[in-house]
Amino acid sequence: MGFLSGVMNKLGLSEAEANSGELTESRISQWLKDRIAKDLAIPSTEIDPSRTFESYGLDSLMALELAGDLEKLMERRLSPALLFEHPSIDALSLHLANELASGEASAAQEAAQ
């Protein structure tokens, strides 16, 4: 297994998903559910995306680790405070998807000029 395959596997992405480049709100939400479920050793189906991260026992160290993995997934720097500013999977995935969409729109505008 190569380095890139290992990173994709760690992030829960297949090669096809990683190559698609599309990080939608739904995909980010599912990644967060899977990641938290893995940390808690429970099925991801038991994760309620509307519950707060705090209700799942997320502490500051876990927030830093999760933010670091999200940075790899999204390929951009993220503040660990995001998990406290957007305290649920639903809120965070919506924020990140909107951030990605606005970044893509800005890049498209720059390319058109």
Q: Pick from 63, 60, 61, 66: which is nearest to 31 by CA?
A: 66
Residue type, 62: M
Best CATH choice for the domain 22-112 from the list 1.20.1260.10, 3.40.50.9100, 1.10.1200.10, 3.40.50.2300: 1.10.1200.10
Position with higher pLDDT, 31 vs 110: 31
Q: Which residue has the higher pLDDT, 68 or 13?
A: 68
Locus of tokens 């876990």: 62
Domain spans in the chain, listed from the N-terminal domain onward:
22-112
CA dihedral of residues 99, 67, 24, 113 (deg, nearest 10): 30
Residues 8-59 pLDDT 10s: 454 454 444 444 457 899 999 999 999 999 989 999 999 999 999 999 998 8
Report the SS3 class of residue 74: helix
